[in-house]
Amino acid sequence: MQKVILLHGLGRSKTSMRILAWRLERAGFEPVIIDYPSTDAKIEKLADHIALSMPTGDDKIDFVGHSLGGVLAKRLAKRLPKSRRGRIVQIGAPNFGSEIAERANIFGEPMGPALVELEPNSGEDDDGLDIGAIAGTAALPAYGLITGIPGENDGKVSVDSAWGHASIKKRVAFPVTHSLMTVDKRVINATLEFLKNGVF
């Protein structure tokens, strides 16, 4: 069976990925949920921690990451030889950061050092990665006055940031909020579609 690494978001735990893991298993994949201390370190150090739990061998590995987990998925895939890089599904990942991270940094310590790295940025180099990006659009326009996020967004990440550098056939959006994306049937079905076929 094809192994799929599941990575939760900032401040969450592996529990938030269990429904998605169950659906993946039913679809014939072998889900591997990796828990990590998302509020304890910067992104690269978190990737170091997760890498210790990565499956070894020569088989390809797919990734599904929610929010920060989607950013980490790219970092981890880049560490693999090209022959082992499978597909990546990002769910509400702040590829270009998020304006809300700037505002949330007033809480600093509880959110952890990775939050600073999620402030608005120009994104990372995605060359050599097969990425399917899922965005949420359920945030009310007025909510943008609080979060500072322009345009359509899920309450934490804009559609543009969630899509990142993904090509047109490899990006999709649903009217769902950031926190509910991993349990939304449309998001889960889209995740399965991309892992199977490489498009939405």
Give the per-residue pLDDT at 105: 58
pLDDT tens string, the chain, 200 residues long: the values are 899 999 999 989 999 999 999 999 999 999 999 999 998 999 999 999 999 999 888 899 999 999 999 999 999 999 999 999 999 999 999 999 888 777 665 555 566 788 888 888 989 999 999 999 999 999 887 676 677 888 899 999 999 999 999 999 999 999 999 999 999 999 999 999 999 999 99
- Contact assessment for residue 117 and residue 73, using Cβ atoms and an 8 Å cutoff: no
* pLDDT of amino acid 37: 94
What's the confidence (pLDDT) of residue 108? 52
- DSSP, collapsed to helix, strand or coil, labels residue 60 as coil
| Beta strands in 111-176, from DSSP E residues, in sequence order | 130-136, 171-174
pTM above 0.85, yes or no: yes
Task: State residue 149's pLDDT score.
Answer: 87
Contact 151, 135 (CB under 8 A): no
pLDDT at 117: 83
Give me the phi and psi of 194, to 5 degrees please.
-70, -40
The structure tokens 């322009």 sit at 150
Q: Does domain 3-197 have CATH number 3.40.50.1820?
A: yes
What residues have CB less than 8 Å from 141, skipping those under 6 apart? none
pLDDT in the model for residue 110: 60
Q: Where are the domains of the chain?
A: 3-197
